[in-house]
Structure formats: structure tokens, C-alpha cells
Structure 1
Amino acid sequence: MKQSYLLILFLIFVSCGNDTQKIESKLKNQIDSLSYELEKVSSELKLLKERNEEAHKTTFENEEFNSFFWNFMTDSVFQKRRIKFPLKYITWKINSNGDVDLGGKIDTIQTSESKWKYDPFYFEMANERTQIYDNFQLKFRPSNERLLHWYGVETGGDAKYYFKGFNGKWFLTAKEQLGD
């Protein structure tokens, strides 16, 4: 009887050994498969990082914006040459009485070169200009666009000027005036 028990134990041990080998083999295959997938994801991530770094290295060979803007607000001839006409102009719609309908419907019109009036950008009222950056290094991120937003505290003024670089030079491409 002891021999039968020993034989049964031996058979159980051998069969468990085979199952253990099968489990080990399956686990090894799964680990190999996961390692392969991890390598694929890792290489894709590396490629995405390289593309992202290349996109941030993009530079725009435009003139320095502050110098351009100084000329733009102080020289009426220069200003007119640096506007892409017809200029997109977004403002309040004029009602049937010929009055501006503040808070009503918004209208988008095209301003031609002949109808443009010199805009000194509050130069006559301000002794200094404020520049707000989007980082602590006092540098703009590489971009071919600038947005100038004048907001009149207590006056209700609200104007946005959209500038874009073309062939190394800045141009005004749109204006939005939705203040009082």
C-alpha cells in the first residue's frame, strides 16, 4: 500500500512538473511578447518626441516685432504699406437708424486701402508700452502670429489687432473692435 501511495505521489509530482514547465513556457512567451510590444511603443514614443522637438525648433525669419510695431504706430505711410488689404474688420452691426448696435449682432466687413484711416494705437496718450510675455525668459515662442489686445479700463474700449508674418515682414491681417 505504501508503494501505491508513493507511486501516486510520484505520478502527481511528474505531472505537476510537466504543468509547471508548460506554465513557465507560456509565461516566457507572454514576457517575450510584452517586451516586443514595449520596444515598439518605446520607439514610437521616441519618434514622436523627435517630431515634437523639430516642431518647436521651427523659427520664423521675421523682423523683430517690437521694432516693426514702433514704426507701424508712428509712421502712417509705413502703416498703410504693412496692412493686407482688404482688411477683415469685425465690429458691431449698424442698425437701421445708422447707429452702432452695441451688444447686438456682429458684422464682418472688408476695409479697403482707400478707406483706411491711420491708427496711432494710443501712441499720443501713452508714454510707454507694456509687453506681456508667455514665459519667464522674456522671449516669444516661435510663432508667425501676434495678437495685440487693447482693453480700456473704465472706458469700455476693446480692440484686437491680428498680425502675421509674410516673407520676413509683419503685416496687420485683421482687426476686431467690439468695445463700447
Structure 2
Amino acid sequence: MKLLCLVIMLFSVGCDNTRVANDITKNIAKENTSSRFSKSDAVDVGNIEEEKTNNEYFDSFFLKFSSDSVFQLSRVEFPYKITLMEDIGSVTRYISKEDWLFINFSQMQVGEHHLEKKEESNSTVTMIYTLEDTGVYFTYVFNKNKGKWMLTSMEDSST
């Protein structure tokens, strides 16, 4: 049942509604009180130093990763690991590049959807997605490898 819910969730957030996604992405980029990123997290996307050192800032990477399906596909580590937390233990599944569906993280910050950034270290950031009053709880793990951020795994701890 959890796998079915996960597939439905991935499909629903993977659907490409360009106009809505563009509007949401613009709102995320604006500095306002509804943004999940604080002003201290703001990054100059055009930072030349970032390009010279090939050492990406997470926030500028994540903005592009959330809105560009081709870029997203290039920044997912395959086979993509999904861990489903079940009552009897965990079940691990893998998704191939051919089976990948675009995850529209921009839509995960609207209404009752919440996306929270947690910096584990300089090379690991966790994005936690929750949906109010539903028990949905996904953890997306991003790791920096050779100066580039990659989505490496997801854990579904939904109840």
C-alpha cells in the first residue's frame, strides 16, 4: 500500500504543469515571509566564483533542480535508492534512469505542503517533505560529489 501511495505521490508531483511551476518558482525566488529559506540562505545565482571553482551552492542548485527536468535527470544518482519504512522493517527499491519521473519540488511548498532544508554537513543536505495532517513524510538526501550536488536517495517514513 505504501508503494502504491509513493508511486501516486511521485506521479502527482512529477506532472509538469509549466505555468503553475513557473509561478511557484518565481514566488520561491522572491524574498518574502512565506519562503522556507531565510534571507541568510540567499545565494547570488550569477556568482562567478561558484562557476570558477565548480563548487555549487546548494540553494542555487536546488532552484534549478526543482524547475528543470533535464537538469534534474542529470543530477540524480542512478540507480536511485528509495527506502520504504514499514511496520516490519525497511524495504529498499531502486529506480533506473529510464523510469525516473520529474519531481516538482516547487509544488511541495504550497498550501499544506511543506519542504524543509536541513544541512547535515558541507557535503550533505536533507530536504524533508511533509503534508499536513496526512502522515506523509519523505526525506530526500543530496550529496556533493566533486563540487556538484546530486540527489542520492529518498526515504519514505510516512505513517
Q: Which TM-score band (shorter chain)?
A: 0.5 to 0.7
Counterpart residue type for residue 67 of structure 1: S
Map of 2:72 onto structure 1? 79
Map of 2:81 onto structure 1? 88
Q: Percent identical across equivalent pairs? A: 29
Map of 1:20 onto structure 2? none
Task: Name whichever structure is richer in helix by fraction.
Answer: 1
Counterpart residue type for residue 168 of structure 1: G
Within the alignment, does 1:171 sit opposite 2:145 as a pair?
no
CA distance 1:108–1:167, change in 2 (3 Å): same
- Give me the TM-score of the superposition, normalised by structure 1: 0.50
Map of 1:119 onto structure 2? 103
Counterpart residue type for residue 170 of structure 1: W
Within the alignment, does 1:152 sit opposite 2:131 as a pair?
yes
Unaligned runs of 5+ in 1: 1-59, 93-101, 134-139
CA distance 1:64–1:155, change in 2 (3 Å): same
> Which deviates the most, 142-151 or 67-76?
142-151
Counterpart residue type for residue 68 of structure 2: D
Residue aligned with 1:109, SS: strand
1:111 deviates by 1.2
- Choose the corresponding residue for 2:60, options 64, 67, 72: 67
1:132 deviates by 5.6
8 Å contact from structure 1 (residues 74, 123) kept in 2:
no
Number of residue pairs matched by the alignment:
106
Alignment root-mean-square deviation, CA = 2.9
1: distance between equivalents of 2:76 and 2:102? Answer: 11
Moved over 4 A (4+): 129-133
8 Å contact from structure 2 (residues 117, 125) kept in 1:
no
CA distance 1:141–1:62, change in 2 (3 Å): farther
Unaligned runs of 5+ in 2: 1-52
Task: Name whichever structure is richer in strand by fraction.
Answer: 2
2: distance between equivalents of 1:142 and 1:61? Answer: 18
